[in-house]
Structure 1
Amino acid sequence: MYRLIYKSQPTTSLNWEKVREILVQSEQNNEAQGITGVLLATEHSFLQVIEGKYETVNKLFMKIVSDSRHSNIQLISFDLIDSRLFSGWGMKGLGLFDFNTEEARMLKKKYGEDNNDIHFPLESWQVLSLINDLKMVRGLPEWRH
């Protein structure tokens, strides 16, 4: 089992409707391929965690790299893992567009800012920490360890 984490910039500004469309399609495709994970999006950034078999995760990442909706793709990690963190999540998504001021301020203070959005870190442990913080703030569904 492998976990791949990347971040990128969209080629056009994002909103929740665009992200939701991506998630609906991803959920259907990923379930059939045994892929689980989470996609975070701000107006100016994507951050995605993908889990599954090596070949499947690698193939999906190559498809993402050639997707015209992404630019400035940065691979954060591609690691062998003992178990999934996101079992049952064909692709959970969270648009960070509608955070209240207090939530946004807390996350920006901890992780920094990019274009007035929450900064997405470049180390895998920080990415997983950010997702955990979002889970606590937003009450995302439990994931299995």
Structure 2
Amino acid sequence: MIPVKGKVKWFSPEKGYGFITSELGDDHYFNVQDIIGADLPDNGDQVDFESAKSAKGFRAKNTKIISKTLKEERRDDRIECTRCSRKIVPRIITDRGNLDHSVCPYCGAWIEDFSILRNLISGIFKLAVKYPIPALVIVVIGLVAGNS
């Protein structure tokens, strides 16, 4: 057997096998039994292995991981739905071409309200619940000013 360096073309941990591309460009089949050590390889890892010829093509034996590739961390922009607790990308609902609100694609729960009028009324209501006396004064002043 000939010692060779190569790069993991792909490896499936679920299936337990994959292929290594040698420095010469030949693809070598390998499986978990051919790996030395406890770590499983990832796509792009640099490896040392022994090349053997089999009836179906090249086979990698005694595969050692030399260096692991840096994995790009995928950004997860999804949020959690307050009703169904699934990770979601909210769906935008428009009204006559204007942004209105967003909903959960699974359960339909409202995620965010973009309507200015609804947000204003909701804000006044929240203030009235939190500070009942000052909110009452604001409403009375508004009614007096409106009747003048």
The answer to whether the superposition gives a TM-score over 0.5 is no
Which structure's residues are more often helix, by fraction? Answer: 1
TM-score normalised by L of structure 1: 0.23
TM-score normalised by L of structure 2: 0.22
With CA pairs under 8 Å and 6+ residues apart, which has the higher RCO, 1 or 2?
1
Max Rg structure: 2
